[in-house]
Amino acid sequence: MKNRFWRSFWGIFFLAAAALVVVNQMGILTYKLGFWAIIGTIIFALSLIDGLINRRITESVFSVAFLLMIFAQPLHITKLVPWTILLAAVLISIGLGIIFRNRFHTVVYANKKIKDFRNKRESISDHIFTDTVSNENGAHVVIDQTMSDTSRYIHSKELETIDVRGKMGDINIYLDDAQAAGDTVVMNLDVTMTDLNVYVPLSWQVESNLGPTFGSLEIEGTSNGGGPTLIIQGRASMSDVDVKYV
């Protein structure tokens, strides 16, 4: 499912790029791009998409910066090109790196000073971006996470529903010690740019009713049957949902 989605996505992207080239040459656009400007637009648009998907701050910010420089004339920001935009990109990259902490890929730290800065940055972030869970052992579990990593072990012996809300984070849910109240357990998702891993017992079965959003669901392993059915429904935008049997 994931491979099919990305094939479609990139196919549409390059079709749109081809349309941009044709429309530009026909003079339909009010601002005509040169050949290298078109190539640069495609390259930095690809870089921006890759940075957002893989959550790389520097790549995303500088891709936007170079796109702004390409379109500086129609945007009337030629006075900012190039050094003001590049300086702003550096500062924005540092600021977002502090705010989002390890939500984005980080570099290898080569000396103690940089490592100490990272630890201080993370201690500040811990007070801003948190995750919450309610009624972990009850019939209705709610997990609410924003821009952080969280792992939740559900020990409920009468589990009925799990509501998961997440934005720009990693969520791990372990159901290997949970017991369903009936024949089904419903997991309601409302996640955006989130990696969600759900660990279920081998006896459980999985049914997906996820809506048609820019996300994917994969099931690793095979159920040996005899247990309840986990029904996954809701919305997973630009998110990966992986169900793993344990």
In tens digits, the chain (246 residues) has pLDDT values of 445 556 666 777 778 878 877 777 777 766 777 878 888 888 888 888 877 776 778 888 999 999 999 988 888 898 998 899 999 999 998 888 777 654 444 333 344 444 444 454 444 444 434 455 555 678 899 998 877 778 899 988 999 999 999 887 789 999 999 999 999 999 999 988 788 999 999 999 999 988 756 677 889 989 898 899 999 999 888 788 999 999
Q: What are the C-alpha distances in Å from 61 to residues 45, 81, 87, 107? A: 11, 15, 11, 16
Task: Round to whole Å and give the CA distance between 132 and 146.
Answer: 9
Q: Can you give the pTM of this predicted structure?
A: 0.53
Domain ranges of the chain: 2-125, 131-245
- Measured between alpha carbons, how far is 110 from 108 in angstroms, rounded to an integer? 6
What pLDDT is recorded for position 136?
A: 65
Q: Is residue 205 a contact partner of residue 161, using CB atoms and an 8 Å limit? A: no
Q: What pLDDT, on a 0 to 100 scale, did the predictor assign at position 121? A: 45
Per DSSP bridges, beta strands 216-220 and 161-174 are unpaired
Q: How many CB atoms lie within 10 A of CB 235?
A: 15
pLDDT at res. 236 = 87
